[in-house]
């Protein structure tokens, strides 16, 4: 790739809108926390663990991902996990990030909601002061669990409402359509949260329709299956519903065989609000800049495409109009001065 475009990608200010905090858990930190908590991992070494990162499907990955999360017990563990991600994102010139967390992964093991959210949100606060990186927190319901469990989790979250901007739906998509959570998301909207939803990752375009029409999702996570439905793509564009696409994730989980098949260019050409993100960077071989770089190379993206993707990341963020304008101004200044 052209050296200048590479530098442009690395340096351009950007927002990341689709990253699971549990998916940023690097094996080195995992072993460190396992040791201090006296918990055993199913692997003998960092190398052993990394060797297990060969996935044939979303479920293959989730089995390892949930297993690794078992070592997280104390507030400090959640703080360290979050701070490590924020430092890494900062190095990629991420200036704003919207982070998912899965409380049920932890509360089901007896770790309290309070422990999880305090550890994460203290790191977010410190990173704002120390690194200048701004952030929001998005709570996700695990869709392989029941709607009742989602409703109970929502009740647990309400005392921490001021720390959570939006609520989403993640985990095993096939067989767990958005419609399964119709009542839970009615409650979510009554409480005034934004709604996001993983849809059209492994599941069909029909699940994206359910997410926008039944759950009234304001943003779709992945959504790559929309490429098979022209009417849906028109609808997403006309309703300004962004997609948070994660190319390296799609490659590692065999949603596509080649990065060339991730429909970024097609979505951009349609005028859709598409963004690039890392999903679970410690498992999928790269953080947000790696996603930009490898996608740009595979799809021959131009400097103008990269600018649009970065701008879309701010347009699609859950921030105030004032914050958005400030970020876009910063982006514009960067572009104008870039040599």
Return the active site residues.
201
Helix 303-315 vs helix 321-337: crossing angle, to nearest 10: 160
Q: What does 23 interact with, of Zn ion, ligand ADE, none (CB < 5 to 8 A by kind)?
A: ligand ADE
Chain centre distance of CA 118: 20
Residue given tokens 């939006």 in the structure block: 166
Residue 104 found at the interface with ligand ADE (CB under 6 A): no
Binding mask 193-212 for ligand ADE (x = CB under 6 A): -----x--x-----------
Of the pair 76, 172, the CB lying nearest Zn ion is at: 172
Smallest separation, CB 215 to Zn ion (Å):
16
Of the pair 13, 223, the CB lying nearest ligand ADE is at: 223
* Cβ–Cβ under 8 Å, residues 29 and 80: yes
Residue 249 found at the interface with ligand ADE (CB under 6 A): yes
b/e code 189-199 from CB counts within 10 Å (16+ = b): eeeebbbbbbb
CB-side neighbour CA atoms (13 Å) of 119: 23
In the complex, residue closest to ligand ADE by CB = 170
Other residues' Cβ atoms within 10 Å of the Cβ of residue 234: 13
Q: What does 305 interact with, of ligand ADE, Zn ion, none (CB < 5 to 8 A by kind)?
A: none
* Cβ–Cβ under 8 Å, residues 97 and 127: no
* Cβ–Cβ under 8 Å, residues 184 and 155: no
Other residues' Cβ atoms within 10 Å of the Cβ of residue 324: 17
In the complex, residue closest to Zn ion by CB = 279
Among residues 80, 92, 98, 279, the one that binds ligand ADE under rule CB under 6 A: 279
Of the pair 26, 279, the CB lying nearest Zn ion is at: 279
φ, ψ of residue 136 to 5 degrees: the values are -135, 160
Residue 170 found at the interface with ligand ADE (CB under 6 A): yes
Q: What does 311 interact with, of ligand ADE, Zn ion, none (CB < 5 to 8 A by kind)?
A: none
Residue given tokens 């926008």 in the structure block: 212
Residue 98 found at the interface with ligand ADE (CB under 6 A): no
Smallest separation, CB 61 to ligand ADE (Å):
7
* Cβ–Cβ under 8 Å, residues 136 and 165: yes
Three-state DSSP class for residue 262: coil
- Residues near Zn ion (CB under 5 A) are 279
CA distance 326 to 329: 5
Of the pair 13, 23, the CB lying nearest ligand ADE is at: 23
Of the pair 101, 327, the CB lying nearest ligand ADE is at: 101
Residue given tokens 């990394």 in the structure block: 50
Query: How big is the site for ligand ADE, counted in residues (CB under 6 A)?
Result: 10
φ, ψ of residue 50 to 5 degrees: the values are -60, -30
Q: Look up residue 177 and give its two tokens.
A: 């359509």
Q: What does 308 interact with, of ligand ADE, Zn ion, none (CB < 5 to 8 A by kind)?
A: none
Smallest separation, CB 18 to Zn ion (Å):
6
Q: What does 171 interact with, of Zn ion, ligand ADE, none (CB < 5 to 8 A by kind)?
A: ligand ADE
Among residues 23, 119, 223, 247, the one that binds ligand ADE under rule CB under 6 A: 23
Question: Which residues here bind ligand ADE, judged by CB under 6 A?
Answer: 20, 23, 58, 170-171, 198, 201, 249, 279-280
């Amino acid at each position: 790739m052209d050296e200048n475009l590479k530098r442009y990608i690395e340096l351009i200010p950007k927002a990341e809108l689709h990253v699971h905090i549990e998916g940023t858990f690097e094996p080195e930190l995992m072993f460190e926390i396992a040791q201090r908590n006296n918990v055993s991992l199913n692997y003998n070494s960092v190398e052993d663990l990394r060797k297990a990162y060969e996935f044939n499907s979303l479920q293959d990955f989730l089995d390892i991902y949930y297993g690794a999360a078992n070592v997280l017990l104390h507030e400090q563990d959640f703080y360290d996990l979050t701070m490590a991600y924020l430092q890494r994102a900062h190095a990629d010139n991420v200036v704003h990030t919207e982070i998912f967390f899965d409380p049920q992964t932890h509360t089901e093991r007896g770790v309290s909601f309070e422990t999880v959210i305090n550890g994460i949100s203290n790191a977010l606060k410190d990173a704002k002061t120390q690194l200048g990186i701004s952030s929001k927190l998005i709570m996700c319901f695990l869709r392989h669990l029941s709607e009742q469990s989602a409703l109970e989790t929502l009740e647990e979250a309400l005392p921490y409402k001021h720390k959570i901007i939006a609520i989403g739906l993640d985990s095993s998509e096939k067989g767990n359509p958005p419609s399964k959570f119709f009542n839970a998301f009615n409650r979510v909207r009554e409480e005034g949260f934004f709604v996001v939803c993983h849809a059209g990752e492994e599941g069909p375009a029909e699940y994206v329709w359910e997410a926008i029409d039944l759950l009234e999702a304001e943003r779709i996570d992945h959504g790559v299956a929309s490429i098979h439905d022209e009417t849906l793509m028109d609808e997403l564009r006309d309703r300004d519903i962004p997609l948070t696409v994660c190319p390296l994730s799609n490659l590692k989980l065999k949603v596509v065989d080649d990065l060339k098949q991730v429909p970024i260019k097609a979505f951009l050409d349609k005028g859709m609000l598409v963004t690039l993100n890392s999903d679970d960077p410690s498992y999928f071989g790269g953080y947000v800049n790696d996603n930009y770089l490898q996608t740009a190379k595979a799809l021959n993206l131009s400097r103008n495409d990269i600018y649009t993707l970065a701008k879309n990341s701010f347009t699609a963020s859950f921030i105030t109009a004032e914050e958005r304008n400030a970020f876009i101004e910063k982006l514009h200044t960067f572009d104008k001065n870039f040599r």
